[in-house]
Structure 1
């Protein structure tokens, strides 16, 4: 028979004494465990360790979930990252635009007599993209920042263009409106018209010193009227401006598409607007540059990506200027959003290493127990382990990093999930039991004594116990991926594969040539003495 390790929580001294008393009379047929651990401590048992040879292979990812309909990723990638070791990625974003009610170019309180004329001049219109940054120092010459969440060569630009999309972004499934919709990273969104930005093919290069923009206000005669210095801060108390990217848009196009429609049916409601102007594609292309993660769900609204339009109304009577009204309207990238990943197809050689890359790059497929030679539905190794009648104290899986490959932009954490072949999961994936049954699952980057990135270790004791005991009969194939915050289990064992972490790492696989650093499943167990 199989002895399964369970946990006993010591609730009080009295319960502890009572348990000690009962443990003296309970036969070895019962389950045993130390309080607070999974290690058997009993004179009738021997404790030992066993290594299971696994198989870990590259597993290319065709796509990942990339929308915000059922779960808000918050972070979206924009830019290009090219590496000789991994797939090149061109990351773009498509998003609806939020409007506010009652937009007017000329407000009701500024209506003048019949002998007046109001001329509207757009001073500037641009896409605003606030960076995630750390303030290193605030000096008299200005703040000094480090831009976070960027990989690649920041000294080189990628090509940026913005387009209106002709694809309606729907929260509901068009084929079955009773269900929610979803978008994937390889979905194609139609472009409507030409580029919205001016100049086109904008050369985007992140700059930590871009903390202000000066808006030149002009009268209808094109005479400079005033200047506005625009900055964005985390709070009015701090006053320290944050760095943000500015991509100029075509003023004439924006006036035609937006301002000229303010008081018409197209802007009557958010739904009407979503049908009229279906969203914007922020597109990145190129063979070099950097990949930037932008937060689209900041708690400070002003720090969210948006389209900003500044315009001046010049009020004239008989050709004379009698008033000027300066205005600014802000349109957040809000509503339905989705990431778009264009990945370079790359076939990795079959050797002693495996490639792991975030976004829609590559994962690792892990076969823990090998073949089923007798075709009875269970791997032969599982049957062998079940016949041993072991008490599993601990089970861990460690992947060592190939330190000869560049490790400057490797993930700080990896994650494992399960392939499900039955109908128990609508996604075909599920969480590994230890992610929600134990406080420590692992997967964090560990470093050696010299500070070099060394390995990632996962503790999967409960999962292995269930597989060997027969409590879990689902095919034991696991997947290894770059971790995202959305991976962690919340209220369900169903796993949904999102990924907006573009980092990559090269690991050593199961091949014997890797020596002590080859990937193996290590099981610590106890068995009854003869």
Structure 2
């Protein structure tokens, strides 16, 4: 049967109308047919969906990285450590002569947290609320910083034309090559063995270079209220580091080691942030942009033999190659889910990091005529429907998941071709928070009047229309979608799995095994998870995964 590649006019009207409204309205129920058209809703009958574990995932050079400990009552405990290279802010620096670090000098590391300014008082003091931190902020974990002796390569050593990949379970590469003792040994234990993510503004005051605070007239003062503020910094990780180590390893390094950053990264191979849970503490885990962090080395030196000692500083950026290490201790129930390879699950467990994703066959796997297309899709195509909307709904298993730490958005993608769906591409809607852009395409957590999560919905108008109108039979074979939690809807890159795995073929006739090699990067960056119902017959009908197609049929 020949079909015109026509997108329904009503569908276009619908998308233009909903593009300014985040709410998912019931489409089709209120449409009234006239003498020429009948408006109908068709619930797809043969959906299948199932969970699969990702195993270790690629985690080098991600835009965001996790650090800390997160205890999830559904999925278990995640421990996230991190390693990064350092780069000189200014290469080939003139450090002077007679270099020394005095008692009034310091070496500190700063990495800002994601935060929102809430208030500023009359004295200019700022109050912030922290964002992207999960768990209990009052809980601590043990944080140790070491110099790493392992060179993080940019390109594969065997095949230099290939980008080097590092994975979430590669921690032993670093821990087997540490070249320093612990560097964050401050007597302030909130910087090391009782580390906490603190939300206080960080204030630096003007001094005379000799360790004395200055007032507005430039005079030294011991009166706290008279101190002049030099800099106000957003809340962040502030760690005082071992001064002698950085004197020896950086300030007294050979000039060739500081000449450029390639030399420096070969010489000083990076910092390792090692995380260990504290007994009796659930801990907390933050998503951080380490590339915005830096180290400041304060020191004194002379410009010449006859010059006075002057205070100076050298800045190192937390730049270059990075790797995030993720250790999971799964809860028994979740581990059992991962160990059971079903072809149609009662519940779908989605977890970020090295967790789990789901795969969906929208029209099942029956293919009695052997044409490589699901029988239900064949039948629908024969009707010549003009699709006005298509909505895929995932109902949240609220008796399983804890809403307080539930993924606020999930991502639906073309797992066959590892790319976005047409509806993602055509959706240009934006929100005040960029994480909620493309809200017509959907995947955003919907809540009821009690702020309890209810469903995630996706609109698949363009995708379903393409399936029904396409003349190319190859477009219809092995139709499989992927579903994962997402940190940001804007990032649709894919990262590799250490161990690929095969899924059952979508349509048995003549198809090869479906091999999964990648997962969305945005899922790896998000430590949270969610649990939604699948389409197994054991699920109550009102909770089942459902795809509803709203269409116009000529009389």
**Residue 489 (structure 2) pairs with residue 503 (structure 1):** no
Gaps of 5+ in 2: 16-27, 187-191, 216-228, 429-439, 494-517
SS in 1 for 2:138: coil
**Residues 2 and 83 of structure 1: CA distance in aligned 2, closer, same or farther (over 3 Å):** farther
Which residue of the partner structure matches residue 515 of structure 2?
none
**Residue 102 (structure 2) pairs with residue 121 (structure 1):** yes
Distance in 2, Cα, partners of 1:46 & 1:284: 62
Aligned match for 2:80, one of 76, 91, 95: 91
Which residue of the partner structure matches residue 189 of structure 2?
none
Shift of 1:368: 1.6
Give yes or no for contact 1:210–1:245 (8 Å, CA) kept in 2. Answer: no
Which residue of the partner structure matches residue 147 of structure 1?
130
**Residues 292 and 44 of structure 1: CA distance in aligned 2, closer, same or farther (over 3 Å):** same
Aligned match for 1:378, one of 373, 389, 393: 373
Shift of 1:457: 0.5
Shift of 1:313: 4.0
**Residue 147 (structure 2) pairs with residue 159 (structure 1):** no
Distance in 2, Cα, partners of 1:444 & 1:2: 37
Shift of 1:308: 1.9
Decide which structure has the larger Cα Rg and report it.
1
Which residue of the partner structure matches residue 52 of structure 2?
59
Which residue of the partner structure matches residue 300 of structure 1?
none
**Residues 487 and 361 of structure 1: CA distance in aligned 2, closer, same or farther (over 3 Å):** farther
SS in 1 for 2:377: helix
The normalised TM-score by structure 1 is 0.77
Which residue of the partner structure matches residue 255 of structure 2?
264
Shift of 1:376: 4.5
Distance in 1, Cα, partners of 2:307 & 2:469: 87
Give yes or no for contact 1:308–1:329 (8 Å, CA) kept in 2. Answer: yes
Which residue of the partner structure matches residue 352 of structure 2?
358
Which residue of the partner structure matches residue 71 of structure 2?
82
SS in 2 for 1:253: helix
Distance in 1, Cα, partners of 2:420 & 2:286: 29
**Residue 153 (structure 2) pairs with residue 170 (structure 1):** yes
Distance in 2, Cα, partners of 1:161 & 1:87: 23
Greater fraction strand:
1
Which residue of the partner structure matches residue 119 of structure 2?
137
**Can you list the C-alpha shifts for 1:342-400, whole angstroms capped at 9, x where unaligned?**
23344144774332222222222222222235454332322332333333222111112
Distance in 1, Cα, partners of 2:237 & 2:110: 6
Which residue of the partner structure matches residue 475 of structure 1?
478
Distance in 2, Cα, partners of 1:255 & 1:435: 52
**Residues 248 and 446 of structure 1: CA distance in aligned 2, closer, same or farther (over 3 Å):** same
Which residue of the partner structure matches residue 19 of structure 2?
none
Shift of 1:445: 1.8
1:439-450 counterparts in 2 under 5 A?
439=428, 440-450=440-450
**Residues 138 and 468 of structure 1: CA distance in aligned 2, closer, same or farther (over 3 Å):** same
Shift of 1:34: 6.6
Which residue of the partner structure matches residue 435 of structure 1?
424
**Residues 198 and 348 of structure 1: CA distance in aligned 2, closer, same or farther (over 3 Å):** same
Which residue of the partner structure matches residue 296 of structure 1?
290
**Residue 470 (structure 2) pairs with residue 485 (structure 1):** no
1:242-391 counterparts in 2 under 5 A?
242-261=234-253, 263-286=254-277, 288-297=282-291, 304-313=292-301, 323-345=308-330, 346-349=334-337, 352-372=346-366, 374=368, 376-391=371-386
Give yes or no for contact 1:352–1:514 (8 Å, CA) kept in 2. Answer: no
Which residue of the partner structure matches residue 186 of structure 1?
169
Shift of 1:228: 8.9
SS in 2 for 1:203: coil
Shift of 1:334: 0.8
